[in-house]
């Protein structure tokens, strides 16, 4: 059994329009949402062995806030993975399939539409989008990441910052 948690980076700042896309930081709401969602995962005892992050500043900041809130036993579990800085779910799928088979539980902080498309592909769902800082814990009955494919995952937990204000897209 393998577990992966898909996390869309939190809300980024557009205060400095001249910044490159890669360099945009989180805004205050994004920082607060990352802390809140990390607390929700901690409450449900979802703890990663590793957190992979896109090297985009907004994704890396999201990953480090989750790491801080989760207070994992292992420090420095955030690893930047340039290959997941993509908007194409097939790139994510290719990257995951190359993970070591001993890796059983990781978080991945990346971008839309890739994260929503990956979620829909793996679960055979049809949600429109995972909101910023949305999290989806997926369980997979596989022994090796190379076995990852359509319909191989089921949703163990799904949440997003404004979930108390509107229904989940999964309902």
CATH number of the domain that residue 117 is part of:
3.40.50.1240
Q: Is residue 110 part of a domain?
A: yes
Q: Is residue 114 part of a domain?
A: yes
Tokens 């929503």, located at residue:
116
pLDDT of residue 169: 55
How far apart are the C-alpha atoms of 114 and 139, rounded to whole Å? 19
The number of domains in the chain is 1
pLDDT of residue 18: 77
Q: Is residue 171 part of a domain?
A: no
| 127 neighbors 116 (Cβ within 8 angstroms) | yes
Q: Is residue 90 part of a domain?
A: yes
pLDDT of residue 74: 61
How far apart are the C-alpha atoms of 9 and 106, rounded to whole Å? 15
CA diameter of the chain: 45
Rounded to two decimals, the pTM is 0.92
pLDDT of residue 71: 82
Q: Is residue 168 part of a domain?
A: no
Q: Is residue 170 part of a domain?
A: no
Structural domain that includes position 128: 2-13+20-159
Q: Is residue 164 part of a domain?
A: no
Q: Is 96 exposed, middle or buried (0-12, 13-18, 19+ CB in 10 A)?
A: buried
Cβ neighbour number for residue 7 with a 10 Å cutoff: 29
Q: Is 45 exposed, middle or buried (0-12, 13-18, 19+ CB in 10 A)?
A: exposed
How far apart are the C-alpha atoms of 14 and 72, rounded to whole Å? 31
Q: Is residue 167 part of a domain?
A: no
Averages of pLDDT over runs of 10 residues in the chain (171 residues) are 97 84 93 96 94 98 95 79 97 97 96 98 96 98 95 96 67 49
């Amino acid at each position: 059994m393998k577990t992966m948690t898909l996390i869309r980076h939190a809300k980024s700042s557009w205060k400095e329009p001249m910044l490159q896309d890669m360099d945009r930081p989180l805004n205050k709401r994004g920082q607060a949402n990352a802390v809140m969602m990390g607390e929700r995962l901690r409450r449900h005892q979802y703890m990663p062995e590793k957190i992979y992050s896109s090297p985009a500043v907004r994704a890396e900041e999201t990953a480090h806030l989750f790491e801080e809130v989760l207070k994992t036993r292992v420090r420095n579990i955030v690893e930047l993975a340039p290959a997941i800085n993509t908007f194409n779910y097939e790139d994510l799928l290719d990257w995951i399939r190359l993970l070591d088979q001993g890796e059983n539980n990781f978080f991945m902080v990346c971008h839309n539409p890739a994260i929503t498309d990956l979620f829909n592909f793996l679960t055979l769902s049809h949600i429109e989008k995972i909101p910023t800082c949305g999290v989806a814990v997926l369980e997979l009955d596989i022994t090796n990441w190379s076995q990852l494919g359509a319909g191989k995952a089921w949703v163990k937990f799904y949440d997003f910052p404004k979930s108390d204000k509107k229904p989940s897209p999964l309902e």
